[in-house]
Amino acid sequence: MSIDNILATAVARAIKELYGIEADSNSIVPQTTKKEFEGNLTIVVFPWVKAARKAPEAVGTEIGNWLVANEPAVNRFNVIKGFLNIVIEPSFWNSVLSDIATTDNFGITAATDESPLVMVEYSSPNTNKPLHLGHVRNNLLGYSLSEILKACGNRVVKTNIVNDRGIHICKSMLAWQKWGNGATPESVGKKGDHLIGDFYVLFDKHFKAEVNELIEKGLSKEEAEKQSPLMAEAREMLRRWEAKDPEVRQLWAMMNSWVYAGFDETYRRMGVDFDKIYYESDTYLEGKEKVLEGLEKGIMYRKEDDSVWADLTADGLDHKLLLRSDGTSVYMTQDIGTAKLRYQDYPIDKMIYVVGNEQNYHFQVLSLLLDKLGFKWGKDLVHFSYGMVELPEGKMKSREGTVVDADDLMEEMVSTAAEVSRELGKLDNVSNEEAAQIAETVGLGALKYFLLKVDPTKNMTFNPKESIDFNGNTGPFIQYTYARIRSVLRKATEQGMAVGDYMAVTPNEKEIALIQAIADYPSVVAAAGSNYSPALIANYVYDLVKQYNQFYHDYSILREEDPAVRSLRLTISEATAKVIKSGMSLLGINVPERM
């Protein structure tokens, strides 16, 4: 049992005996004592003051005295207003450390067949261009959130919805037909998603040229865009696609297959995956069917022009278009169709959509509509809304071909990691193959950590140079500390320093603080799951690493002559490494054994 649980149980017993108050120990959450006060853990006593009919200080003192008399783990206490600060018996921390050291998957709760089934949707790319920096943040957040929810004891299904239909797809297809000269990924030596993205940019270039010519002939910009022959051809191609024209469908399938192969390569390098991928080309008709079913039940209504709407004014929103007058669907309809298919495939208890904050209103509406249409998780769906990510140079604009490409970004990060590691001597005495692997691990770790350490709700600027620093709140700093600990442990083994009994040792103040920080890991994982925040894990691991480095600087480990003290410090080091590796894995980040 963790020290938090021991203390919570003891406090519940104390207030039952002292005041006759029944308290659920699960509702008693000890907090780490603030640094300016003496103590390891703090209990807030305000919840019982009214029933006890005493001042907060008196209640805190009485509970503290009871704990000293009845709970062996408690050494002494002090009370500041309604806060009971408790000093844990120093030798007790050895038992805490021993439990951590001998617990497999410390901090991780395994799912059972009865655990809630949570579906997490992330990535959601378009098949007309490669993944960019915004997709990188989305993928990393979605994957990390999935791993954290698993660690909290949920069953998790990672899913993706691919936007593989619509006018934007037809633009790339038309440009390939007109100017592609039969190019394939193999013939030009380029990833398929990049090749298709080039044609999307090429369409836009020719379209703008056409519009400018029409403007010069006296048309307004809006009129010119409407009368563009190229755009008319793209619309005609979309009409043919929706009519299932064999020629258009064959071209669409071929070009999409190139894109999927490219996406898979990017996902592999990024270290993210999916349990199930859905395609909008399959879901949009399902959504239309579900909307028409809602129309029959009176949940939706039809206007005179034959368009179908939902009246959400009673819910504080407005009227929402679901089917256009020509019967075609909108994004909302597609999301309803995707939800229908997912619910057929999985008995979902909770659905989480990882989508940027510009879609906040969309998911408010979707939640209401799914609930009205009978999806039990609709009302409680979670829009995991995150902010924009930019480079120091400014925003990204994909149609103009200036997108910050995910593949290029990852390659640049790995290259920079190799360069910096070499300059710092981190790659001395390792083979070329091992050096390349370390650069890959460090480069991608730097990218992931920098994007995940920020509160996901906030906009952020990604600075590649800053992220690769081996000092400060960065992935490489954490990875290097892990490698350093592994090196210490290897040397201990090589020198025959077996870990012996350390229970008789009284740990010093910094050792206790480090053991307590390690012991906090399960509660941090739980908080990251309930708050949907990988940033909590990232910043906890960084703080733990800083604390360990101070400990490493202040005390000898391998040169400590007292074998019991040395055993204690080796065990603290091993437990720290275990938690670093576990925490970083929840962020999708690998840690190197050597560096």
Query: Which CATH number characterizes residue 540's domain?
Result: 1.10.730.10
Residue 140 lies in a domain: no
Contact 545, 472 (CB under 8 A): no
Contact 311, 319 (CB under 8 A): yes
Contact 452, 140 (CB under 8 A): yes
DSSP 40: S
Cα–Cα distance measured from residue 384 to residue 365, given in angstroms and rounded to the nearest whole number: 15
Domain boundary among 243, 274, 305: 274
Residue 279 lies in a domain: no
Q: pLDDT tens string for the chain (595 positions)?
A: 688 889 999 999 999 999 999 988 888 999 999 989 999 999 999 999 999 999 999 999 999 999 999 999 999 999 999 999 999 999 899 999 999 999 999 999 999 999 999 999 999 999 999 999 889 999 999 999 999 999 999 999 999 999 999 899 999 999 999 999 999 999 999 999 999 999 999 999 999 999 999 999 999 999 999 899 999 999 999 999 989 999 999 999 999 999 999 999 999 999 999 999 999 999 988 999 999 999 999 999 999 999 999 999 999 999 999 998 888 888 899 999 999 999 999 999 999 999 999 999 999 999 999 999 999 899 999 999 999 988 776 544 444 445 688 999 999 999 999 998 888 887 787 888 999 999 999 999 999 999 999 999 999 988 888 898 888 899 999 999 999 999 999 999 999 998 999 999 999 999 999 999 999 999 999 999 999 999 999 999 999 999 999 999 999 999 999 999 999 999 999 999 999 999 999 999 999 998 8
SS3 306: coil
pLDDT at 30: 94
Q: How many helices (H) and strands (E) does the chain have?
A: 22, 14
Residue 76 lies in a domain: yes
Cα–Cα distance measured from residue 384 to residue 149, given in angstroms and rounded to the nearest whole number: 13
Do residues 481 and 574 share a domain? yes
Do residues 82 and 171 share a domain? no
The DSSP line for 166-200 is SHHHHHHHHHHHHH-TT--HHHHT--HHHHHHHHH
Exposed, middle or buried: residue 527 (CB in 10 Å: 0-12, 13-18, 19+)? Answer: middle
The DSSP line for 362-420 is HHHHHHHHHHHTT-TTSTT-EEEEE--EEBTTB---GGGT---BHHHHHHHHHHHHHHH
Rg (the chain; Cα; Å): 29
Query: Which CATH number characterizes residue 75's domain?
Result: 3.30.1360.70
Write out the residue range of the structural domain in which residue 221 sits: 165-274
Contact 579, 518 (CB under 8 A): yes
User: Max Cα separation, the chain?
Assistant: 94
Residue 471: CA atoms inside 13 Å, Cβ hemisphere, count? Answer: 1
Helices 432-452 and 534-554: angle between axes, nearest 10 degrees: 120
DSSP 326: T
Do residues 423 and 552 share a domain? yes
- HEC profile of 99-152: HHHHCCCCCCECCCCCCCEEEEECCCCECCCCCEHHHHHHHHHHHHHHHHHHHE
Residue 356 lies in a domain: no
Compute CA distances 143 → 180, 274, 455, 465, 550, whole Å: 36, 9, 16, 24, 32
- Cα angle at 376 between 322 and 112, to 5 degrees? 135
Contact 439, 433 (CB under 8 A): no
Do residues 458 and 569 share a domain? yes
Cα–Cα distance measured from residue 212 to residue 221, given in angstroms and rounded to the nearest whole number: 8
Domain boundary among 257, 274, 291: 274
Cα–Cα distance measured from residue 233 to residue 235, given in angstroms and rounded to the nearest whole number: 5
> Which has the closest alpha carbon to 132: 295, 356, 343?
356
Cβ contacts of 491 within 8 Å, gap of 6 or more: 558
Q: Residue 344: what are its φ and ψ, rounded to 5°?
A: -70, -35
Do residues 434 and 543 share a domain? yes
Compute CA distances 459 → 358, 386, 474, 513, 539, whole Å: 11, 8, 18, 34, 17
> Which has the closest alpha carbon to 88: 168, 33, 126?
33
Residue 382 lies in a domain: no
Residue 522 lies in a domain: yes
Residue 130 lies in a domain: no
Do residues 181 and 50 share a domain? no
Domain boundary among 61, 89, 117: 89
DSSP 466: H
Do residues 582 and 435 share a domain? yes
Question: Could you read off the pLDDT of 403-462 as tens digits, one per residue?
Answer: 688 999 999 999 999 998 888 887 787 888 999 999 999 999 999 999 999 999 999 988
Do residues 421 and 539 share a domain? yes
Do residues 189 and 78 share a domain? no
SS3 505: coil
Place of tokens 């990510």: 389
Do residues 52 and 189 share a domain? no
Residue 466 lies in a domain: yes
Do residues 54 and 176 share a domain? no
- The token duo for 238 is 């979309």
Total tally of structural domains belonging to the chain: 3
Compute CA distances 43 → 37, 89, 331, whole Å: 13, 16, 49
Sign of the alpha-carbon torsion through 279, 285, 291, 297: negative
pLDDT at 400: 47
Compute CA distances 6 → 71, 72, 204, 564, whole Å: 9, 10, 65, 26
Do residues 80 and 174 share a domain? no
> Which has the closest alpha carbon to 73: 54, 55, 96?
96
